Amino acid sequence: MIDRIWAPWRAQYVSGTAPEARPASACFLCDGLAEDRDAENLIAWRGRESVVVLNRYPYNNGHLLIAPRAHLGTLQELEGRSLVEPIETIRWMIRILDRMMRPQGYNVGLNQGKAAGAGLPGHLHWHVVPRWDGDVNFMPVLGETKVVTESLDAFHERLSREIESDRKSGVGLSE
C-alpha cells in the first residue's frame, strides 16, 4: 500500500506558477522588500533595519528567516542598528513562536558565505527553526520527506496577526 501525504499548496510548484518559476534577481529578500506584496513574498514584518520572512522550504513548522534590510553578506558589514535590530527581532519572534506553537527548543543559525552553506550568500540572514522532542522521526531518515503540517499561507496569516497584536499592545519593535 502507498501512503500519501496531502499537500495541496505544492500544486503551484508542479504547475510552474511558483514564485521560483518566475524570473528573479539574485536576491529574493531584496525583491520582496522592493514590492508591496508581503503576503505573496512571505514577509511577515518589516522593521527599520530588519525583516521577518517565512522560509519557503521550511525544515519545521514556524521556520523563519530574519535578515537586515540592507543587502550585505557578512557580519563585519553590519553596524549600529543594522546589527542590533535583527538580533532583537530574533528574540521577539521566539517570544511569539513560544506563544503560538509552544516549541521545546530552537535552532537559530547564521550561514555566512557559500562554503558555510548560505543559499543566499550575498544577503545575510538568520534561520529560526522551532523544535520539539521527537520532531525528527522516520520520515526524513527513511522516506527523505519532511512533514510540515500547516500551509505557508495559513501560518503567515497567524504570525502576522500575532505580530500586529504585539505591536498594538506596545510589545516588539517599531517599524
71 is annotated as an active-site residue: no
Determine the Cα–Cα distance for residues 51 and 64; give it in Å rounded to an integer: 10
Cell numbers found for residue 8: 495541496
- Which H/E stretch holds residue 66? strand 64-68
Q: Which of 63, 123, 125, 156 is catalytic?
A: 125
Edge-first strand listing for the sheet containing 126-131: 43-46, 50-54, 64-68, 126-131, 105-110
Catalytic residues: 125
